[in-house]
């Protein structure tokens, strides 16, 4: 049985505790799964930026970006079937090539903090497990 806590940047008392960094760290130290809700709680910031920010605040090893596609590609694989998936790519290359990894703010935050991002498909059965155990899944964006 996994114990978990939901912490929200916005007040949603019926379903989540307010986000307090120290409390989140304590829950992680207690081996609980911590789910962050409601982004940063500020307008103009995407959920990508919230994930990067919370990752930095929690001193995580990697940000996991579960999305519709199974990694970062040379082009949109939905409209360009010949697009090639990167197994690994540097932050700078992703930024220069304007690849759709995350929004620019989140990508730059992760680059500046040397916080890798693993991009993988949430719809691919077993993908999350393979990512967590270090299997060959998705794309690793790194320094």
Tokens of 30: 């207690």
Q: What is the mean pLDDT of residues 116-122?
A: 97
Q: Answer whether residue 1 shows pLDDT above 90.
A: no
Instruction: Supply the CATH classification number for the domain 47-142.
Output: 3.40.1160.10
| Residue 100, pLDDT above cutoff 90 | no
**Cα–Cα distance between 74 and 69 in angstroms, integer?**
12
Residue 30 and residue 33: Cα distance in Å, rounded? 9
pLDDT tens, residue by residue, 50-67: 999 999 999 999 999 999
Domain ranges of the chain: 1-38, 47-142
Whether pLDDT at 32 is above 90: yes
Report the phi/psi class of residue 70: left, alpha or beta, with left for phi > 0 and alpha for psi in -120 to 50.
alpha
Q: pTM for this structure?
A: 0.91
């Amino acid at each position: 049985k996994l114990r978990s806590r939901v912490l929200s940047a916005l007040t949603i008392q019926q379903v989540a505790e307010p986000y307090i960094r120290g409390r989140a760290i304590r829950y992680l130290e207690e081996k609980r799964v911590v789910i962050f809700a409601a982004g940063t709680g500020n307008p103009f910031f995407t959920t990508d930026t919230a994930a990067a920010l919370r990752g930095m605040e929690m001193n995580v090893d990697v940000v996991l970006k579960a999305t519709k596609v199974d990694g970062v590609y040379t082009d949109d694989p939905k409209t360009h079937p010949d697009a090639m998936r990167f197994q690994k790519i540097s932050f700078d290359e992703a930024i220069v090539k304007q690849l759709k990894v995350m929004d620019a703010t989140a990508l730059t935050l992760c680059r500046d903090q040397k916080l890798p991002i693993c991009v993988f498909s949430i719809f691919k059965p077993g993908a999350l497990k393979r990512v967590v155990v270090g299997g060959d899944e998705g794309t690793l964006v790194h320094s």
